[in-house]
Amino acid sequence: MRENLRTNFLGVEMPNPFMLASAPPARDRDMIDRAFQAGWGGAVIKTLTQYTGEEGSEIRDVSPRIFPIRGSSGVFKNVVFGYMNIELTSQKTNEESCEDISFLKKRWPDRAVIASILYGHAPIKEKWQRAAADCELAGADAIELNFSCPHGCSEIGSGVSIGGNPAKIREIIGWVKEATRLPLITKLTALSDIVYAAALSEECGADAICAINTISSMPGIDLETFRPRMNAGGVGTAGGLSGHMIKPIALRSVLEIARAVKIPVSGSGGIYDWREAAEFILAGASTLQICSAVMEQGYGIIGGLCNGLSAYMERMGFKDIDAFRGRALGSIVHHADIDRGRLFKPYLDIMKCSCCGKCAVSCRDAGYQAITLSRGGVRIELERCTGCGLCYGLCPNEALTPVETRV
């Protein structure tokens, strides 16, 4: 066990900050048990929705429902950049899910076992409260309120439709707090004002924030059939986008929320390796929730996540997670506060330059016509350059590097 990774989240002492997000990898106790054996610090079980086992209350998924989004050409051909999914909530009855919670908490007292609940159909209040009370009795450490699922929920006034509705946020947190003493986490959507929703959640008594959930998307349309690339019986729908593609949005959301609230933030969205985990912690996250990387690579990635993050902390002299949580916030400012007196222009290392022409094309058609390519090689007219940075950002050989000048 890496002692410097030990994390206290809402009163639970975890061996590390890495948790399974409420998603397919956290579907049942056998799967979560295997994840804990591999070394995961916690899990948010797949969302309960008051399925009772009675006819008409079952959760029925479509097939197929998870679609990998791949690059289509060049070096990115078949590279998976993310996933679009339209899978619904848990197909287990609430009683079965609570049995899973009890089993996991007894077997793994040092891991965070968090319930996720969501409801939309009337009578809403009674069902939110019943689910929360049942999860507390089962031994859950906390309850995550799913205010952000983007598919199959807005139609019933739940999920993402709650996260964008301040009145509903206030109302549901109030209902659940009446029914349980457990800590409450609100899982919020980046499809609305997530910072306002986080601040409101804190004001209403939430104990932590999780950001973000998947983002409503359409992965593509087949040019021959005119149908969505992921369809069932010829028709499809928008679904939740996850993976690498949403990481910049998730990171921005976490850092802005961390500035706005005093309660812990659990970061989620596009975390695949320890470096990305460290970025989220630097942005203010206390714990990390992961799904897409596990769907692609399995529970075994936890070893690399823990070893890499722990080694980084040792190298930087950080004795624990709190020692560097939020360290990046001071260097992220409003656009108007950025120094306009600094200018970075490209320096060309001709030994690295392959004369591929990418810099010349981008500067010609999207920049300031400061770079040209001829038989003699790349030529830079520094007096025309305004320092936009596009050229050295695109150079595949790192032949262009920024050199600072004063305006």
The CA-CA-CA angle for residues 277, 280, 283, to 5°, reads 155
Q: In whole angstroms, what is the distance from residue 100 CA to residue 45 CA?
A: 9
Residue of 149, 153, 385, 395 marked catalytic: 149
**Catalytic site includes residue 306:** no
Q: In whole angstroms, what is the distance from residue 4 CA to residue 130 CA?
A: 38
% helix, strand, coil for the chain, step of 5: 35, 20, 40
- Which stretches of 317-385 are DSSP H helices? 358-366
SS3 168: helix
What count of other Cβ atoms lies within 10 Å of the Cβ of residue 369?
Answer: 12
Length reported for the chain: 407
The CA-CA-CA angle for residues 96, 99, 100, to 5°, reads 90
**What torsion, rounded to 10 degrees, do the Cα atoms 114, 249, 198, 240 define?**
-50
Residues with Cβ within 8 Å of 93's Cβ and at least 6 positions away in sequence, in order, are 51, 52, 53
Q: In whole angstroms, what is the distance from residue 19 CA to residue 179 CA?
A: 26
Q: In whole angstroms, what is the distance from residue 301 CA to residue 273 CA?
A: 8
Per-residue tokens: 191: 């499809």
Burial letters 386-402, b for 16+ CB under 10 A, else e: ebbebbbeebeeebbee
Q: In whole angstroms, what is the distance from residue 269 CA to residue 277 CA?
A: 10
Burial letters 38-73, b for 16+ CB under 10 A, else e: ebbbbbbbbbbbbbeeeeeeeeeebeebbbbbeeee
The CA-CA-CA angle for residues 54, 59, 61, to 5°, reads 150
- Give the residue carrying structure tokens 């939740």: 240
Q: In whole angstroms, what is the distance from residue 404 CA to residue 407 CA?
A: 10
The whole-angstrom distance between residue 174's C-alpha and the CA centroid of its chain comes to: 26
Q: In whole angstroms, what is the distance from residue 168 CA to residue 157 CA?
A: 10
Residues identified as active-site: 149
